[in-house]
Structure 1
Amino acid sequence: MTGDPSQYVRQREKGSRDVSYPDPPEPLTVAVYDNHAHLEIEDGEGLPLEEHLERAAAVGVAGVVQAGGDIDSSRWSAEAAAQHPRVLAAVAIHPNEAPAYDAAGELDAAIAVIDDLAAQPRVRAIGETGLDFFRTDEEGRPAQFRSFEAHIALAKKHGIAMQIHDRDAHEAVLDTLERVGAPERTVFHCFSGDEAMARIAADRGYYLSFAGNVTFKNAQNLRDALAVTPRERILVETDAPFLTPTPLRGRPNAPYLVPVTVRFLAAELGEDLDELCAQLAANTVEVYGSFD
């Protein structure tokens, strides 16, 4: 890892799926932002960061919040944001990485690196952090909780937002936020809960970020959650290169595909597309500050 954002940290497994990038969608007339992406991960033919940003800008996606999940990707994210005016960074130790750092006796040192990175002016969030009970078993969960609480403290210390990864851990995440106190701007990245959880989040002033999986046939819970989320608390993301929206599911995802999900959100909500885009953009700036 060099920190040079012209280099990728790792490559996504391709398997037998179609790894060609889809054609660009029709541009939005009111620009929005991709609230969460992993552009250090190469997928398909692979695109340089600059190409990702150019393709995004051409369809009305004005900027990207690039998220880290370990020391290397967090450094990469911070460097990308420092070099590119259309990128802001989120930095963290991912909950599925925390047990490995802890087992090696390196979790505290890793969190200290995140603390240092969070002081950089274009690092605007701690993330992604949280809890994952799908990939981590009981043995690794104490490290996840310790890491999550430390990251919450960092977001508060630096006065920046926090992006939460929550997989099969809804109640534990909500309980932790209530017990230790959530940062002022708390975002559920790739929200995976249901209507009841969305109502709790709204009552507490959290933001819900919807990714391409809201378009999936089996994701009615996400659409129900979207319906009850206040418009001023909705964000949109790709989680690129993952969660490519229908009808492009399985192919490489990228920020330039945000308009596919935004148009789906507008149709689902019965909202005017331009008005929803303006709201999404305003919400993004409210959470992370200006990209300028």
Structure 2
Amino acid sequence: AREPGGKAALDDALAEIDALAALDHVRGVGETGLDFFRTGPGGIAAQEESFRAHIEIAKRHGKALVIHDRDAHADVLRVLADAGAPERTVFHCYSGDAEMAGVCARAGYFMSFAGNVTFKNAQPLRDALAVAPMELVLVETDAPFLTPAPYRGRPNAPYLIPVTLRAMAGVKGVDEDTLAAAVYDNTARAFDF
């Protein structure tokens, strides 16, 4: 018998992800990574095992790896360095600080920023964006709980991307069209289209 959520269930899920990653129209593997926000010690090892498997799947199929990282920055970076990150690695909803952005930049990881970059209390995130090289910056299309100011509290949706992008351009000290063109090019490179 297979227990729900057990090793066999993880193996089955990873086999399905591997099969899907082989499809030509699939652009990335993820979100995957580590989320320690509400995870006890028992769950950490399982998350890391799954994350490592996703890294291997992305590399085997030449797909982008899309990372979810919550309260686990050092461990995510450690696993990527240890396992060997895929050629194209994207930090979805980037949440690290400027120091981590420097590490990501040196490794060539894409950093995708969401509406929370507009929040008053998000100066560390804006500092990270300032450090991130223009050729590695992306913008989130639909982070449902990270609606940009002044619309914070409402449901987020792709139509608010220009609000986030405008704020990001201000942080980068470039005009919106320049950043939009860079994000377009970066997205095409990140997801190989």
Using the size of structure 1 for normalisation, the TM-score is 0.63
Secondary structure of 2:68's match?
A: strand
Deviation at 1:101, TM superposition (A): 5.9
1:275 aligns with 2:181: no
Aligned partner of 2:18 in structure 1 is 115
Return the alpha-carbon distance in structure 2 between the equivalents of residues 220 and 232 of structure 1. 21
Query: Structure 2: where are the runs of 5+ without partners?
Result: none
Query: For this pair of structures, how many residues does the alignment match?
Result: 191
Residue type at the aligned position of 1:157: R
Aligned partner of 1:127 in structure 2 is 30
2:128 to 225, 244, 256: 225
Return the alpha-carbon distance in structure 1 between the equivalents of residues 45 and 64 of structure 2. 24
Aligned partner of 1:204 in structure 2 is 107
Deviation at 1:218, TM superposition (A): 1.1
Deviation at 1:104, TM superposition (A): 6.8
Q: 1:158-237 to 2 correspondence within 5 Å?
A: 158-237=61-140
Return the alpha-carbon distance in structure 2 between the equivalents of residues 169 and 217 of structure 1. 23
1:154 aligns with 2:62: no
CA contact (8 A) 1:238 1:253 kept: no
Per chain length, whose mean CA-contact separation is higher, i.e. which structure has more relative contact order (CA < 8 Å, sep 6+)?
1
Identity score, percent: 61
Aligned partner of 1:245 in structure 2 is 148
Secondary structure of 2:90's match?
A: strand
Aligned partner of 1:63 in structure 2 is none
Residues 178 and 256 of structure 1, relative CA distance in 2, 3 Å threshold: same
CA RMSD of aligned residues (A): 1.4
Deviation at 1:179, TM superposition (A): 0.6
Residue type at the aligned position of 2:165: V
Return the alpha-carbon distance in structure 1 between the equivalents of residues 127 and 150 of structure 2. 20
Residue type at the aligned position of 2:138: L
Return the alpha-carbon distance in structure 2 between the equivalents of residues 197 and 256 of structure 1. 29
1:90-113 Cα offsets, whole Å, 9 max, x none, are: xxxxxxxxxx96437300000111
CA contact (8 A) 2:93 2:143 kept: no
1:13-54 Cα offsets, whole Å, 9 max, x none, are: xxxxxxxxxxxxxxxxxxxxxxxxxxxxxxxxxxxxxxxxxx
1:145 to 44, 48, 54: 48
Secondary structure of 2:69's match?
A: strand
Q: Which has the higher helix share?
A: 2
Deviation at 1:289, TM superposition (A): 2.3
Secondary structure of 2:188's match?
A: helix
Residue type at the aligned position of 1:244: T
1:258 to 155, 161, 175: 161
Q: 1:89-100 to 2 correspondence within 5 Å?
A: none
CA contact (8 A) 1:194 1:221 kept: yes
CA contact (8 A) 2:29 2:64 kept: yes
Residues 174 and 247 of structure 1, relative CA distance in 2, 3 Å threshold: same
Secondary structure of 1:106's match?
A: helix
Return the alpha-carbon distance in structure 2 between the equivalents of residues 254 and 125 of structure 1. 21
Query: Structure 1: where are the runs of 5+ without partners?
Result: 1-99
